[in-house]
Amino acid sequence: MTDFRPGDVIEIGVSGRVAHVQVTHLHPSYPPVVRAIEGLHDSGTGDAAVAAGGATKFVAMIPLQTALERVGAPYTNLGQAEIPDDHRDFPTFRMPIRDKQGNTVYWWFWDGRGLSYDSELDAAAANLPMREVLTGQRLIALLSDA
């Protein structure tokens, strides 16, 4: 269960600096979807709309509150901000299906409702987020890589 809602902007302490994520979607069977906002800052903005105005660094599924608490990362819910137009629809995630040798045989694409697949990963599909659930440790590492 999460206390966060779509539109919430969360300010996260990362190695003495501040990063931001915005919750974009909730799904009944999966953790919340968040967009990480580009940039690591020396101090927090305190303003959800200002923070949400940044470019998206990546999109991921993560049980955000639980993950942050498990790694002891300080966080603050700055409140609601408008979700950018290009993130209003539930994102499509990609997932490789591998053979016994570990080679990718084909790709599954999941849009929150159903699956489709393709044997090739074109340039557009290669930019889709992976269908995986991030840990708090992985989230902090990705946010640290500014």
25 three-state secondary structure? strand
Q: Cβ neighbours of residue 127 under 8 Å, at least 6 residues apart?
A: none
pLDDT at 146: 53
Q: Which residues in the chain come in under a pLDDT of 70?
A: 1-2, 146
The domains of the chain are located at: 1-88+131-146, 92-128
Render the burial of 73-103: b for 16+ CB within 10 Å, e for the rest.
Answer: bebeebebbebbeebeeebbbbbeeeeeeee
111 with 124: CB under 8 angstroms?
no
| Closest by CA position to 76, among listed 63, 90, 64 | 64
Q: What is the pTM of this model?
A: 0.91
pLDDT at 1: 44
